Amino acid sequence: MAKSKTTYFCQNCGYESAKWLGKCPSCSQWNTFVEELVEKAGNKVPDWRSGNSLARKANKAAVIHEIIYQDEQRIKTPDKELNRVLGGGIVAGSLVLIGGEPGIGKSTLMLQLALTIPGVKTLYVSGEESEQQLKMRAERLMQSSKANCYILTETSTQNIFKQIASVEPDLVIIDSIQTLHSSQIDSTPGSVSQVRECTAELLRFAKESSTPVFIVGHITKDGAIAGPKVLEHMVDTVLQFEGDRHHMYRILRAVKNRFGSSSELGIYEMHGTGLREVSNPSEILLSQRESPLSGITIAAMLEGVRPMLIEVQALVSNSAYGTPQRSSTGFDTKRMNMLLAVLEKRFGFRLSAQDVFLNIAGGLRVEDPAIDLAVINAIISSQQDIALSNNIAFAGEVGLSGEIRAVNRAEQRIAEAAKLGFEQIFISKYNSKGLDVSKYNIKITWVAKVEEVFGALFG
């Protein structure tokens, strides 16, 4: 008979301790230990096929050159944005964790995925909604006629695995991991030990059966996925579903991906009939203006391997209070302060007594340093009240001495600007080596210093 005992777990990282501690020795967080009743199952692990406990089999070491390598088998979904974020499709036997704020659309995205994959039998397990609620959502998505989607409302992992053995699905979706509980652990659903044990059972099932599993996770008030940090280490892919639920656009971002790039993102538009993928995000990130306005420039950025053109908005005004304000939305405030210091030290612009506000249109958060050139031109355009043409794009990193440094994947940035009808792009001359400019229908202006840009734009 299994022996039960009480153990203390850190809610932040999952560290286990025999007694209560004020400070976690693993993550250094205070007052995060909670007491949980756990059951030691010895050297036995639950078998997902029958729900019984079997002795753990020992694996043998193999020489690396004797291991047979095979390319990952991927399931192509009708959702091109999801395929891009996952690295080309769903890998067989992979465990994917998707997190996001309440009401952002995680369940809608997963149900839409389950209903639209042709020729794939899917099992959608929900511990939060009833069958009638899921049927109502499927009717709203106008995809309820799909015969290969099975709905199960269950929270016990043992019962879920029995249904999996009966249905034999090609894809399993769990909504959500915080509602599941395993009979191997006596603590309540959503606790650190339960989340870790349920995820371990799903991981074992995915790897042994080569069935991909999607699990939905809640997030904390800080934006991190709820549960122990080890949860993100266990899974193969971590996706973050971001956006403001009061706006229609959503961003699916890959935070971790063992089968592809971890810098990809997909953009969706929320409608009454579900999520619609946005194939050309540059069109929605650029506002439609009839005439040029001061303080607005266009930057050619790169998110992963995806080029996009975004709108940078700046507002510079005299400070009404003693201390000037510095505020940025979607751009690092410390980097903006650095660029302001470069403008004041190297070029004599008096910005120390003025308020500076910076905004990246569309709700994006940009970390690409190649938008530096667009940022400083937007700031000077607003300060001098000189409007720049809507047909000019910028791509360049600004150094502390005022030089314009080269950017990566310059060809893709230029091609994206030319495709959207821009007439001119300013880019670092250090990108010109080995670049064939004759194939682009756009004027490329090579610049090495910020003075050259200011001279061409502001005179």
Give the residue ranges of the annotated binding site for ATP: 100-107
Would you list which residues are annotated within the binding site?
A: 100-107
Q: What is the dihedral of CA 159, 160, 165, 169, to 10 degrees?
A: 160
Query: Taking a C-beta distance cutoff of 8 angstroms, is the pair 405, 423 a contact?
Result: no
| Residue found by looking up tokens 């994006």 in the block | 364
DSSP 225: B
Compute the distance between CA of residue 63 and CA of residue 242 in angstroms, rounded to an integer.
43
Of 62, 66, 40, 64, whose CA–CA distance to 53 is shortest?
A: 40
3-state helix, strand, coil in the chain (%, to 5): 30, 30, 40
Compute the distance between CA of residue 33 and CA of residue 16 in angstroms, rounded to an integer.
9
Compute the distance between CA of residue 307 and CA of residue 165 in angstroms, rounded to an integer.
44
Compute the distance between CA of residue 307 and CA of residue 206 in angstroms, rounded to an integer.
34
The tokens describing 202, both together, are: 């799903």
3-state SS class at 175: strand
Compute the distance between CA of residue 300 and CA of residue 318 in angstroms, rounded to an integer.
30
